Structures are given as structure tokens and as C-alpha cells.
Structure 1
Amino acid sequence: MSARPTPYPERPAQAPVTGGGLAELLRRVRYEVLPAKATEDKVLAHVPAEVPVTVTASPAKGIGPTLDLATRLAGHGYRVVPHIPARQIADAGHLSDIVDRLVAAGIEDVFVPAGDADPPAGAYDAALPVLRRLGELGSPFAHVGITGYPESHPLIADEVAVRAMSDKQPHATYIVSNLCFDPATLRQWLGQVRRRRIVLPVHVGVAGPVERAKLLSMATKIGVGESAKFLTRHPSWFLRFAAPGGYSPDRLLRRAAPVLGAPESAVAGLHLFTFNQIAETERWRRAMLERTGG
């Protein structure tokens, strides 16, 4: 495979959207992918070099495949954002090794969730201690993302989740929200976050044009990881995918556009969960850009 000739351009990736509406949001996307065997080829074939790619990590496979894919994609010129789940890190030495490898690959952006490993692999059972340790290591990454939950997390109370974001804010530069299918819920959550004086820009998590049969097939092959496990924990969400006409990213974004574009929301862009339907997601984005005049 040949390397991408054009590196990711230098620009303030976390700046909030200040105009341009839905078209601007569709230009400011990040694609979340899973480290499966064919993922690298799919990204190279279908994802423009200017679109950041985030790489998940599953408890079943461990963090190794995430680091492998992230460093290879960085070598192709992509801006890559590997997930570093706290509960998959064995100890401080393991974290230092991860940091050294990513820094050597030129990776400047990481996403630090707690993760779903149960029990934890080592001493870290939440994201905050890992974020603090990164600070002790000299803050090696220019951008550090943390998780937000517009729709209730099955294991964390809403107020606890928002308070945790407040605690992590000094160690992070942006928030990535988990999936939300309801514009009213999204508006309420963004308001709650800002009222708590959490000022980090938000990348709003949106499911791409997911086909139910492909999603089920993928989950069966790779095990249910961070990007798909929510379907088993949120059966009502799964029904939105399964019901004919039950979910449309177009409809969700058009209805949510006013709150996403509001200055007080400080939305930096969209975080698209591709579920490895990468070609389909990019075709959908380009088509919607054309329809919105972007």
C-alpha cells in the first residue's frame, strides 16, 4: 500500500463551529473505526486525508490492535486518534510504553475513556487517574479527549457523569459525546454541561447510515467492543436501527442543527460512528454535503 502523499493540514481541530450550519458540521467530522483486518484498506480507499480517524479498543482484543492500526494510519498521513481505555492499562510502565510508541509515530491526539474491561487489567479503573498520569509525563499529546453521555449511561448516574467531566476538564481539550438519537435530549445535555461551567468543545457522536444486517454480522465476527456494546446495553437504541425508517442520520442532524450550531453549545464538529461501514459513511456524508450546498 502506498502512503498518502498529503499530510493532515495544520488547523485548530477543536475550535467550535461559528457559522456554516449543517454543511460546516459535515466538513468537521471524525470517523470512528474498529481495528479489524480490513479496516486499514477501507480507510485508505474511502476516507479523505483531511478527515481524522479514531480507532477504538475492545476488551476482547486488547489495546495492541488499536496501537498497531493507529501507527500505520499515521504513517499514511492521517490524523489518528487512538482510544486508550484506562481499564486496559496494566500499570504506569505500560502507559509510558503506549505514550512512547504513539509519540514516536507522530500522534498528537488521544481519547481516554474508562473502557469496559471487567475486571480492569491493572491499577486504573477510571479515566481521571490516567489523565493525571499523562500530565505527570509532561502532557505529551496536544489534544486529549474525554467522554460525555447525552443519553444515560447504563452504569453511571447522569449527575455523576457530568461531575466526572468537570473533574477531568483540566486534563483534557475536548469532549466526545456518546450516541444520542433525540435532539431535545442533546439540547438538554449540552445546556447542563455548560451550566456546570464545562467549557471544552464537544464533538457530537452520531451514528452513520448503519445497516442492521451488517452491524449484526460485524458484532458477531469481532466481539462486541466499545463501539457496539451500547446496543446490548440500550435495547431501545437497537430498535431504532432495526425498525424500518426508525433511524436516519439526515433527519437527526436536520432537527438538531439549531442546537449544534448555537454559539453557546460550543460544538466543534461531528464524531461519526461508522461501525466499519466506512465507504457507506463517506458516500452518505458527500451526498448530504451536496444536498446542503456544502
Structure 2
Amino acid sequence: MTGKDVPALLEAQSAIPAGTRINVTFLGNEDLEMRVTAAKAVKDAGFVPVPHVSARRLASPAQLEEFLAALREVGASTHVFVVGGDPATPEGPYASSLDVIRTGLLPQYGVEEVSIAGYPEGHPDISTPLLWEHLTDKAAALAEQNLGSVILTQFGFDTAPVVEWIDAVRERGMTSPIRIGTPGPAGIKRLLAFARRFGVGANAMIVKKYGFSLTNLMGTAGPDRFVDDLSALLSRDATAGDVGIHLYTFGGLKATADWAAGYRAGR
């Protein structure tokens, strides 16, 4: 959810299981108060807030500490997601999420577990070797600070690169839980727009496998087939370890929660 989504959270509250982790984004057009208010709303509703810390949007170490202190004050600093962020030029001293982690500030403000980003299909602006270097370095830096870690991935429509990537993570000795980014039900045009923005593969063959057609963009698509296929593949992969999904709520919190409840009941 974003800082603007508190009303949507309250609307969806009864449909979301207690204790569910809900990420709170760090957008450039929102301020500290909005982000902290949203994180507090998540906690007050009986869920686990996971506020984002966007490295390249932080103007100074003081701003980082101010944000962490505000989250701690409302009881929302235990879990955070530290990510690089969108700006091409950093707004302050942190060029990457690794830079934030290496400050050593996170545990000082009550952080116990840090989510870090994974990219099964690569990143449009970062080379694959550098992605692997940073992922392994972040996992090591968190372990050195006795912080738990979760690898949370970009969303995708194709299970094949996801499973290959999971195997590559485990081959590198990383045992952190992995949460595979999965688009919740949303309009097909909207899903494809996000895919283009984030460099996610969405050719005709892939989207047909996912369950919709490029020739009919007016409908809504859910991730049933993707989750079924991923589950089947992982059930045969003895080395995959702890793997789950992270739902991106492109179609809204309530629609995503209702889909999850229906999927669970149907399986």
C-alpha cells in the first residue's frame, strides 16, 4: 500500500488474515508523516507493517534516522524493506540499499528483519553480475548485524526464470526466506503497463501461459495459474527452501485479499 491507501486498508481489513505483512511504499510524492501514519494504520489494524526505506530518496543520514525514529515510536520499525529506489541520481549519500544497511543504524532503531530485493528476470538499469554481488553482500551484511533477512522479488508472469533464479540463490549459500512477487488480480492493461515500467518479460507466449491474451486487453487477470505452476515446480525442488509469495496489489487491497481467500478455499 501507499501512504494514501489507509481508507482502502480499512475497507479490506476484514478480508485480510490477522498478522499478514503489508508493505508501505516510500514514494517521492509522499512525506514522512504520510508514510508513518500508514505504517501505524497497518499495525493498529492487526497486521505487520513493513515500511520501505528508499535509499536514493534519502537526502541525509539525519533524514534516515528521523524516519526510523518515527517508525519506532509507533511500533512499526521491526520489519523494513530497504530498496535502492527510482531516482537516477541519489538525493543524498546513499546510492544503494547496501549503503543504508552498512550504516549500522537499522538495529539501533528496533529493526529485527530486513527485506531485500531480488530480480529473477534482471533489472533494466543494473547488470546481472552486479545484482548478484549486491544480493550476496546485503545478505552477509545483515547476518553480521544479527538481523534477519527476507528476499522479496520483482513480480513476473513466467515461473521458469523464477525457479532458475531460486536455485541460483541457494547455490550461492543464501538461506533467507524468499517471497516471489506475484501480481494480484488487476486489469490486463494495467498489469502490462507495470511490466513495461519494470522491465518484466511479457511477450505473447509468456502472457498466454499466465492466462491472458495480448489481443484481448479489456479483462482482468488473476495469478491462479502462475501460483499453481510455481507450487508444482517447487514441490519437486528439494533445495528451494522457504519460498512463498508476495502479492502486489495492482488491482487494490480488497480485490487482492478476496482473491487470496478464494484461492485458498479452492485449493
Q: Which runs of 4+ in 1 moved over 6 A?
A: none
2:83 is paired with a residue whose SS is coil
- Shift of residue 156, structure 1, vs aligned partner: 1.1
1:184 is matched with: 160
Q: Which has the higher contact order (CA 8 A, sep 6+)?
A: 1
- Measured after TM superposition, the shift of residue 106 of structure 1 is 1.4
1:202-238 Cα offsets, whole Å, 9 max, x none, are 011111111246x48xxxxxxxxxxx75532437539
What is the alpha-carbon distance in structure 2 between the residues aligned to residue 175 and residue 195 of structure 1? 15
> What amino acid sits opposite 1:193 in the alignment?
V
- Distance in 2 (CA, whole Å) between partners of 1:78 and 1:232 is 29
Count of equivalent residues: 249
Residue 133 (1) aligns with residue 107 (2) = no
Flag the structure with higher strand content. Answer: 2
Partner of 2:73: 104
- Structure 1: distance between partners of 2:172 and 2:22: 30
Distance 1:260 1:113, change over 3 A: farther
Given the superposition, is the C-alpha separation of residues 236 and 270 from structure 1 closer, same or farther in structure 2, using an over 3 Å criterion? closer
Matched, 1:168 2:138: yes
TM-score, normalised relative to structure 1: 0.75
Give 5+ residue unaligned stretches, structure 2.
143-147
Q: Is the 1:55–1:80 contact (alpha carbons within 8 Å) kept by the matching residues of 2?
A: yes
CA contact (8 A) 1:148 1:177 kept: yes
Q: Distance in 1 between matches of 2:53 and 2:25?
A: 8
Q: Deviations over 1:163-213 (max 9, x none)?
A: 211000021511101112211111111111111112211011111111246
In structure 1, C-alpha distance between the alignment counterparts of 2:150 and 2:132, rounded to whole Å = 14
Matched residue SS, 1:83: strand
Offset from partner CA, 1:19-40 (integer Å, 9 cap, x none): xxxxxxxxxxxxxx22325333
SS at match of 1:84: strand
Q: Which moved more, 1:48-57 or 1:106-115?
A: 48-57
Is 1:286 matched up with 2:261? Answer: yes
Deviations 1:142-180 (A, max 9, x none): 111100000121011222211211000021511101112
* Residue 115 (str. 1) matches residue 85 (str. 2): yes
The Cα shift of 1:97 comes to 1.1
Amino acid at match of 1:69: A
Cα distance, 1:247 vs structure 2: 5.3
Say if 2:115 is the partner of 1:145. yes
Would the alpha carbon gap of residues 136 and 251 (structure 1) be closer, same or farther in structure 2, given more than 3 Å must change?
A: closer
- Residues of 1 paired with 2:12 and 2:220: CA distance? 28
Work out the CA distance in 2 between the residues paired with 1:84 and 1:51: 19
Would the aligned equivalents of 1:34 and 1:276 in 2 still touch at CA under 8 Å?
no
1:36 aligns with 2:4: yes
* 2:202 is the counterpart of 1:237: yes
- Residue of structure 2 aligned with 1:48, choices 11, 14, 17: 17
Tell me, in whole angstroms, the C-alpha distance in 2 between the residues paired with 1:242 and 1:139: 47
Give the fraction of aligned pairs with identical amino acids, expressed as a percent: 26
CA contact (8 A) 1:75 1:105 kept: no
Corresponding position: 1:194 with 2:170: yes
How large is the Cα RMSD of the aligned pairs? 2.7
Contact 1:204/1:267, CA 8 A, preserved across alignment = no
Partners of 2:150 and 2:4 in 1: CA distance: 26
Q: Any conservation in 1 of the 2:186–2:251 contact (CA below 8 Å)?
A: no
Out of 218, 223, 227, the position equivalent to 1:253 is 227
Determine which of 126, 147, 159 is the counterpart of 2:129: 159
